[in-house]
Chain A
Amino acid sequence: MLLRCRIPLAHFELDIDVSFDARVTSIFGPSGSGKTTLLDAIAGLRAIAAGEIAVNGSILFSSARGINRPPQHRGIGYVPQEGALFPHLSVRKNILFGAERDTDAGTSHHLSMDHVLKVLEISRLLSRPVTQLSGGEAQRVALARAILSRPQLLLLDEPLAALDIGLKERILPYLARVRDEFGIPMIYVTHNLTEVLTLADWVLVLQQGKLVAQGVPKETLRSANTLLQLPDDRFDNVFAVTFMRSDRELGNTQVRSASGTELLIPYLPPPLDPKLQIRVSADDILIATERPAGISAANVFQGTIRGIEALNGEVMLTVLAGDEFLVRLTSAAVIRLRLDQDTRVFLIIKTRSFRVL
């Protein structure tokens, strides 16, 4: 996909010039970085000052050549943040709204309504009034509607943002299914790392309207330059773990990570699904060169430094301790402890520094 555009916004100019070919491309960045504006521009819902947008070789917009296809003819399926289902039409009518249209660039897979309904598990909702759908159901209906209009490109604007954590987890697999089953390229806007890491093959990192990095999600998102330029300046280490037991008196819950490391996180009542995601900020992890004694933190385990990246007095360490952890320290600390590649260290993390996703 070829994407070039320049859009003047309130405080800055959105300036993108990229070319990528992936099943799911994620656009990642903090709020206000122009992500929704970009989607609107691609869909033709917003005027662009100059630039070019082409999808699968067909030019949707070109200021140089005077081409500006109206949204009706861009063959784009849009799933906005709030779902935007038509409240006066039934679920069925919503889903079929765009099904009749002519697309000059259809997908290679034959889309049947039954298939889509089955994949998204919404067959039984067809006669339900739209206003009686739950958040998750509404999102899936919106997805079905976009897919059944046989688009050449799917745009999703933070589709899980309005859902609570549990629901997010349950809808995420559906999105993976859509990616796998229908073969429609997707552009997925989010500021949630988990979603990017789970779904995307490629990520564009946007900040203040500028593309600051792009690449394979795992590496791109962890490269120091990228992280240190993110305005909210956080990096969460995200892990999938399994619940083992909870103790209310002691105030903690024991979980086990994929690599077998046992961690203590704040108490939570035993969940229905033992699979959890936890996160801990890179700023909340302490490093010790010897095993500490007499400290309050419950999580202490060994690891080896695999990477050091420094910038402006800050250092991001990559530490392998069963799982990979990113730890942020000051340069002073690194110098004082004489930390270097392959140094063996202890990671110290308070129970309460962990959060459940």
Chain B
Amino acid sequence: MSTNKIICFILLMALLFFSGMRNAANADEILVAAAASLTDALKDIGKAYQAKSKHKILLTLGPSNFLARQIDEGAPADMFFSADLAQMDLLEKNGRLEPGSRKNLLSNQLVIVVPADSKLAIASPKDLLKSDVKKIALADPAAVPVGVYTSKYLADEGLWDKMKPKIVPVLDVRATLASVESGNVEAGFVYKTDAAISKKVKIVFEVPIEKGPKITYPVALIKESKKKEAARDFMNYVSGAAGKSAFKKYGFVVFE
């Protein structure tokens, strides 16, 4: 490889790269920071919104705690859609939220999943105490929202202490599903919306909404946003009829 060829290649790549990077600055780009579990729903809603509005919706998806941290440090998000209250509370405490914009929009339903080919008879949380259930996967009950909610629910039912020895804490929902899929655990707790992600698990019990924990997905506008008008417009759309039906389609519970 001669030096000249290498230089040419580098220049070409640089050119390609920089040419693609120009951002259109006319219409507003609304940056929505959202929990990963909302991905599919928000993508649909975003597409529908963009069809009737001149604004563009950009999503940044990730663990709610990462997103909250970024926003706290001044990351230029316009709207935040969290998977639990704690992260939103943190931002409110630090004065990052636009006053009065916070809404509790969605909830979710807790379910028990087992491997699709499981032969075990599990129809309620109590069944998980049976001896043929050796391990139960749960996203870290100390930090991850679904884990926190689950442990609280099981404690309220008086089952947590007996179940604790069987609990295998894992990284997140995806990891929970992966462990159940692999058969390394006999069951796992996830949100109903998450269960749809994997085709190799089946839902055997849905925690009734009234009895279950108060899972809440709050949404709010960010105070330092430079596109509050546009963001408010999108927020209204999301919390309006069109948004709500999209969420319901994906299995979310919508607060009326």
Judge A-B direct contact (beta carbons within 8 Å): no
Chain B residues within 8 Å of A, Cβ to Cβ: none
Chain A residues within 8 Å of B, Cβ to Cβ: none
